[in-house]
């Protein structure tokens, strides 16, 4: 697996696909810069070699080159984070882009305009990819968040750099972290799969059952398993048509000697609201008209015991509606358990939009081994899929 560490960038222009698709507020200020910070090690390595960096990214989903999606908005923030003045170029292909990068000197950073201003980017257009390729000497893919897309700048462009293409340090560490969980994990291995629906996680569960010792199922999806086994779940979320599937998963897990841990109690509410009345009930005898919105205290204890004995931990999905304070205690308790296990030497990988949001919100980012920057990309890797953006570098 070739990374930027395998190249010397002296006097070379590195054309880097970064994922600077960051959230902006109404004043077009960056509200979460973690994706920019994550790309910094790759950029600094190239600059320290004596090279220059041409950064290309998308921002949002523009239809007609709307100014609100211009990467111009993030130039100042990017300069602050990188500690180098970033120069903005008003296009990503054609004469404006080519003239903009022509006199780029070693140590300089240029940020190109939004790739998705051109529909050819998402269409994976070869001519568009070739135009982009003219802007650099070495192609670096450091955008894990878009590695599962066969777009021009992530997958198609690599063919124009047959010898001069590599992974950035962020993308390489994402691949290594996921492989650590899937392939070279130290046992016991525990996967915590939460979130609302079984249907969105089924392929992941099927793919990882051969690799894990414990499967913790939490969040809304747990109620489909509970009901499938004959439990009364009140008005809790359930996928009626996935109960058979839930039973199949339990059966398959048993055959593979995977211990499945479902919640035993829940914090239930009489409405889906932060102001709802709440009480604790057993998971399989929830009163009519009440819904489970968080893991209960007994469940938190059981989950924490499993996690404490684990040496490799994958966390994908919260175990309650943590966005409301009244239903955040289960997710916080789980985060604390994972943080403690990590401090005691376990390897912990957190990924998937909601669990990453929870980890950031409750201050666990520095207390786990690795927080993935790519939601969809990580899920597809866990499902066992080959990601186009990764394959293009390996080919």
Asked if 330 and 220 touch (Cβ cutoff 8 Å), the reply is no
Q: Is 323 a known ligand-binding residue?
A: yes
Calculate the CA dihedral of residues 102, 106, 107, 112 and round it to 10 degrees.
20
Q: Is 11 a known ligand-binding residue?
A: no
Calculate the CA dihedral of residues 163, 169, 175, 178 and round it to 10 degrees.
170
- 197 classed as catalytic: yes
Q: Which of 77, 87, 298, 353 is catalytic?
A: 353
Q: Is the dihedral of CA 126, 132, 133, 139 positive or negative?
A: negative
Q: Which of 12, 35, 211, 227 is catalytic?
A: 35
Q: Is 149 a known ligand-binding residue?
A: yes
Q: Is 259 a known ligand-binding residue?
A: no
Q: Which of 40, 72, 180, 197 is catalytic?
A: 197
Phi, psi (rounded to 5 degrees) for 183: -120, -40
Asked if 14 and 53 touch (Cβ cutoff 8 Å), the reply is yes
Q: Is 58 a known ligand-binding residue?
A: yes
Q: Is 351 a known ligand-binding residue?
A: no
Q: What angle do CA 264, 239, 387 make, to 5 degrees?
A: 100
Q: Is 355 a known ligand-binding residue?
A: yes
Q: Is 288 a known ligand-binding residue?
A: no
Q: Is 354 a known ligand-binding residue?
A: yes
Q: Is 7 a known ligand-binding residue?
A: no
Q: Is 201 a known ligand-binding residue?
A: yes
Q: Is 384 a known ligand-binding residue?
A: no
- 35 classed as catalytic: yes
Measured distance CA(261)–CA(389) in Å, rounded:
35
Q: Is 353 a known ligand-binding residue?
A: yes
Q: Which of 40, 126, 311, 376 is catalytic?
A: 376
Q: Is 71 a known ligand-binding residue?
A: no
Phi, psi (rounded to 5 degrees) for 357: -60, -40
Residues forming the annotated binding site for ATP? 201, 292, 323, 352-355
Residues forming the annotated binding site for substrate? 19-21, 35, 58-61, 116, 149
Residues forming the annotated binding site for (2R)-3-phosphoglycerate? 35, 116, 149
Residues forming the annotated binding site? 19-21, 35, 58-61, 116, 149, 201, 292, 323, 352-355
Residues forming the active site: 35, 197, 353, 376
């Amino acid at each position: 697996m070739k990374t930027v560490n395998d190249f010397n960038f002296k006097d070379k222009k590195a054309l880097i696909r970064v994922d600077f698709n960051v959230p902006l507020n109404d004043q077009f200020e960056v509200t979460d810069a973690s994706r920019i910070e994550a790309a910094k090690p790759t950029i600094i390595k190239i600059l320290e070699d004596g090279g220059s960096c041409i950064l290309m990214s998308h921002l949002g989903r523009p239809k007609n080159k709307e100014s609100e999606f211009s990467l111009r908005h993030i130039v100042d923030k990017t300069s602050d984070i990188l500690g180098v003045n970033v120069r903005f170029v008003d296009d990503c292909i054609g004469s404006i882009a080519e003239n903009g990068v022509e006199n780029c000197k070693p140590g300089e950073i240029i940020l190109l305009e939004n790739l998705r201003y051109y529909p050819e980017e998402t269409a994976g257009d070869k001519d568009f990819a070739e135009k982009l390729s003219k802007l650099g000497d070495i192609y670096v893919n450091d955008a894990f968040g878009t590695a599962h897309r066969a777009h021009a700048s992530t997958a198609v462009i690599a063919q124009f750099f047959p010898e001069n293409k590599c992974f950035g340090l962020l993308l390489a560490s994402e691949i290594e972290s996921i492989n650590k969980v899937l392939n070279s994990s130290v046992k016991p291995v525990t996967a915590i799969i939460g979130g609302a629906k079984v249907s969105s996680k089924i392929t992941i569960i099927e793919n990882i059952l051969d690799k894990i010792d414990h499967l913790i199922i939490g969040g809304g999806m747990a109620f489909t398993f509970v009901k499938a086994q004959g439990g009364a779940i009140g008005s809790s979320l359930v996928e009626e048509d996935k109960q058979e599937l839930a039973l199949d998963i339990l059966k398959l897990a048993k055959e593979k000697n995977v211990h499945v841990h479902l919640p035993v109690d829940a914090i239930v509410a009489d409405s889906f609201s932060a102001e709802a009345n709440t009480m604790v009930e057993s998971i399989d005898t929830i009163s009519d008209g009440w819904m489970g919105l968080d893991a209960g205290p007994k469940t938190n204890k059981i989950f924490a015991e499993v996690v404490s004995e684990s040496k490799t931990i994958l966390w994908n999905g919260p175990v309650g509606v943590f966005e409301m304070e009244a239903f955040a205690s289960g997710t916080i308790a789980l985060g604390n358990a994972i943080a403690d296990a990590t401090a005691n030497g376990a390897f912990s990988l957190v990924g998937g939009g909601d669990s990453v949001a929870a980890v950031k919100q409750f201050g666990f980012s520095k207390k786990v081994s690795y927080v993935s920057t790519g939601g969809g990309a990580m899920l597809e890797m866990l499902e066992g899929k080959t990601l186009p953006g990764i394959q293009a570098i390996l080919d």
